[in-house]
Each structure stands twice: as C-alpha cells, then as structure tokens.
Amino acid sequence: MDLGAMLKGRHVLVTGASSGLGRHFAQLCARHGALVTVGARRRDRLEALVEKLLELGAEGAQAVELDVSDVASVQRAVAGASMASPLDVVVNNAGIADNRPALDIDEALYDAVVDTNVKGVWAVSTEAARAWRAAGRPGAVVNIASVLAHRVAGAVSIYAATKAAVVQMTAAHALEWARYGIRVNALAPGYISTEINEEFFQSEPGLALIKRIPMRRLGQLEDLDAPFLLLATDASRWMTGTCVTVDGGHTVSGL
C-alpha cells in the first residue's frame, strides 16, 4: 500500500508548523502532493516554509497566522484555511513544554502549557469537526501526544499531564465523532533528535538518557513518517481513538 499516494490532493492543516515536527510533517505532506496549510504564530517562518512546500510540489500551500490557545484566532485560521478548499486532515502538533521542576512552575507557565497543549487541541479539533459535520464530509484528526503521556520524567510535570489529556481527548472525540465519519487518533513520539535538543543529547545526562532507550538511539524525524501517514490517510480507515507510540521501545524500558 502506498501511504503517501493516499494523501495526494488532500488538504492538510498542520498547527505549530514553523519548526520541528510540524515543519517536517508539512514537508512530508507536500512531497506527497497534498495541499498544505501551515499555522503558527511566527508568520515570517511560515512564509519561508510555504516557498519550500511549493518547491516540493504541494498542489497549493498557504500560511495562516494561528495562536491555538486563542479560540478567535483558531476560528479565523480554520475559516481562512478552508477558503482554498475544505480541510480533510487536521494535525494538532503545536505544543510547548514547561522544563522546570514542579515547585518552580508559576501560574503563567501552567496556563501557557495547558492552553497550548490541551485547549489548543480542543479548539482546533472542534472547529474542524463542526465544519465537517455541517458539510457532511469525513475528516481525520492526528493529535501529536508524547511518550510522556504514559511515563514521567523530571521537570516536565505539566507537559506530561497535558499529553495524557491529549490521549484521553483523542479517545473521547473519536467516540463522539465516529458517527460523522471523523476519525481521531494520536501519535506519541519518543525523544526525537532536532536542532533544539542537539546540544543536550551530546551532554552526559543526554547520553545517559539515550542508553535507557531499548533501541539505544534517538528517533529521527523520518522515523515518524510511516506512522504519521498511516493515521493521516484512509489506510487507517478502521482506526479511531488509538494512540500509536513511536519511541524505540522507550515506554517499555525496564523499571
């Protein structure tokens, strides 16, 4: 089965596409001929990405300014994205981490992490699902969770809690929306090597962490491609409410 070919001509909205995983997913979709709308707060980065997506062969590519923690911004972005053509797939990728010990987290940081990671997924998913239901169109939602939805680590307490919420919201939305032909699944990546964490993973604690991954390496962005394509396309037509973990075995490491 050619998973990539199943994305051709589909309209995919990727949130948090101005860097990291979101940028990668947007490029992956573009390479397979999807129409891609990229959303995030940093407009300049999105404009540069759109140029790249067009080069990669996206049938169309566009940027929408989007703050997922602001419902009005989400409504504008989903409406703006859908003007070119109705959405087929929504990828809730925008996310931030707290990176502080629990006792050092203040209300502002708590709100920022919860509003981005949980309220953001809720706002974008429900906005898209309402439009799909009204139009009688099927749709697919892919929520980017994390292995920290299932296990814990130091200095990511709120992040871990929000990712567990994303997995549970995935199941709850899947249950309610299956009747409308809307599938909702989550992808839970383990530690993926990106520019942002490159330095940490060369340090002693970073190398120690890698040793705890049964497959003894970090994930590469490309390791997510096939699972992502599976969830984003009709290849997973009888899957909904699931969470697919892609982590080199990290969540099954021995205690």
Catalytic amino acids? 146, 159, 163
Spatial distance between the Cα atoms of 203 and 16, rounded to a whole number of angstroms: 27
Residue 82 in contact with ligand NAP, rule: CB under 6 A: no
Stretch that binds ligand NAP, among 47-55, 87-95, 101-109, 208-216 (CB under 6 A): 87-95
Query: Binding residues for ligand NAP, how many (CB under 6 A)?
Result: 27
Nearer to ligand NAP, 177 or 228 (CB): 228
- Residue sitting closest to ligand NAP (CB): 20
Instruction: Tell me which of 62, 82, 116, 245 binds ligand NAP, using CB under 6 A.
Output: 116
Under DSSP, the state recorded for 99 is -
Pairing of strands 182-189, 139-144: parallel
b/e 227-245 (16+ beta carbons within 10 angstroms → b): bbbbbbbebbeeebbbbbb
End-to-end Cα separation, the chain, in angstroms? 38
In angstroms, the Cα distances linking 227 to 19, 47, 112, 188, 199 are: 20, 27, 29, 10, 27
Nearer to ligand NAP, 1 or 195 (CB): 195
Q: Which two tokens stand for residue 116?
A: 């981005």
CB of 255 to ligand NAP, least distance (A): 21
Pairing of strands 35-40, 11-15: parallel
How far from chain centre, in Å, is Cα 216?
24
Q: What binding mask, one character per residue, do residues 146-185 give for ligand NAP by CB under 6 A, x or -?
A: x---------------------------------------
Query: Using CA of residue 18, residue 21, residue 23, residue 25, what is the dihedral sign?
Result: negative
CB of 186 to ligand NAP, least distance (A): 10
Residue 192 in contact with ligand NAP, rule: CB under 6 A: yes
b/e 19-44 (16+ beta carbons within 10 angstroms → b): ebbbbbbbbbbbbbbbbbbbbbbeee
CB 181 within 8 A of CB 138: yes
Residue 95 in contact with ligand NAP, rule: CB under 6 A: yes
Which residues have CB under 8 Å from 50's CB, separation 6+?
38, 61, 62, 63
Residue 75 in contact with ligand NAP, rule: CB under 6 A: no
Q: What binding mask, one character per residue, do residues 2-41 give for ligand NAP by CB under 6 A, x or -?
A: -------------xxxxxxxx-----------------xx
Residue 94 in contact with ligand NAP, rule: CB under 6 A: yes
CB of 196 to ligand NAP, least distance (A): 6
**Residue numbers 40-69 binding ligand NAP by CB under 6 A:** 40-42, 66-69
Nearer to ligand NAP, 39 or 139 (CB): 39
Residues forming contacts to ligand NAP in the complex (CB under 6 A) are 15-22, 40-42, 66-69, 93-96, 116, 144, 146, 189, 191-192, 194, 196
